[in-house]
Amino acid sequence: MPVAFAVSKRSTSVGLPKRAGRLGTRRYRSGASAAIVTGMGEGDIYEVWLVRHGETEWSRSGKHTSTTELPLLPEGEEVARGLRDRLSDTDFAMVLTSPRERARTTAKLAGHEDAEVDADLAEWAYGEYEGITTPEIRETVPGWTVWSHPSPGGETAEQVEERLDRVVTRLRGANGPALVFGHGHALRALTARWLGLPVTDGRLFRLDTATVSVLGHERDSPVILRWNS
């Protein structure tokens, strides 16, 4: 509640220097994902830091939360404040946040109250499943997941992919490291698109609340540098 495997909140997938920033002069070449590359020229590629918002009452209980505005729990606020030190060593050229209160509050408590709101970073819209847990949904739809089944009245995977591709395009055009405050499913979907994978492959990346993950490149390949830490 932040590759192709689940990682616990206490571990990371790949070691990363304490101070992170530009990854040398690496250039992105077309071929990783045509949907993302379309219309983009070559440019320097920087790291992208992802932060999932702090814990809310619904995230604690497993209720699907998209458009519902919920405050952070006191514990969620405390952990969000703790992110400030973890992020302070990096000079971010772009800081974006979902429009939802829980993401904007996390950004503020983490020292980035001036984060730019990007509506494309909103959480996956669950429609009729808003405020309902997966076990409750599976009482009527066996095996349901947001990645594999429709959400009546909500977004399709194709719709989520379209808007998160716009975010990836923005991030690839940043003039330095970028920082993003968002949500569990949306950030997992964004990561899949960064890697050139179908948005539904976000199912492979567990993401806990108030965790930090870092995307980047190794030579010409988009990679995950740190995950769910």
165-177 pLDDT tens trace: 999 999 999 999 9
Report the distance separating Cα 169 and Cα 189, nearest Å.
14
Q: What fold is seen in the domain 22-125+157-226?
A: Rossmann fold (3.40.50)
SS3 221: strand
Report the distance separating Cα 74 and Cα 87, nearest Å.
21
Residues 97 and 180 sit within 8 Å (Cβ to Cβ): yes
pLDDT band at residue 220 under the 50/70/90 scheme:
confident
State the chain's mean pLDDT as an integer: 85
Residues 70 and 57 sit within 8 Å (Cβ to Cβ): yes
12-29 pLDDT tens trace: 333 333 333 333 323 322
Sketch the domain layout of the chain as residue ranges: 22-125+157-226
Report the distance separating Cα 98 and Cα 101, nearest Å.
8
57-81 pLDDT tens trace: 999 999 999 999 999 999 999 999 9
User: Which residue among 47, 53, 130, 183 is the active-site one?
Assistant: 53
* Residue 1, pLDDT above cutoff 90: no
Q: 48 is written with which tokens?
A: 């992208």
User: Which residue among 55, 64, 112, 123 is the active-site one?
Assistant: 123
Q: Look up 123 and say whether it is catalytic.
A: yes
Residues 205 and 197 sit within 8 Å (Cβ to Cβ): no
Q: Look up 217 and say whether it is catalytic.
A: no
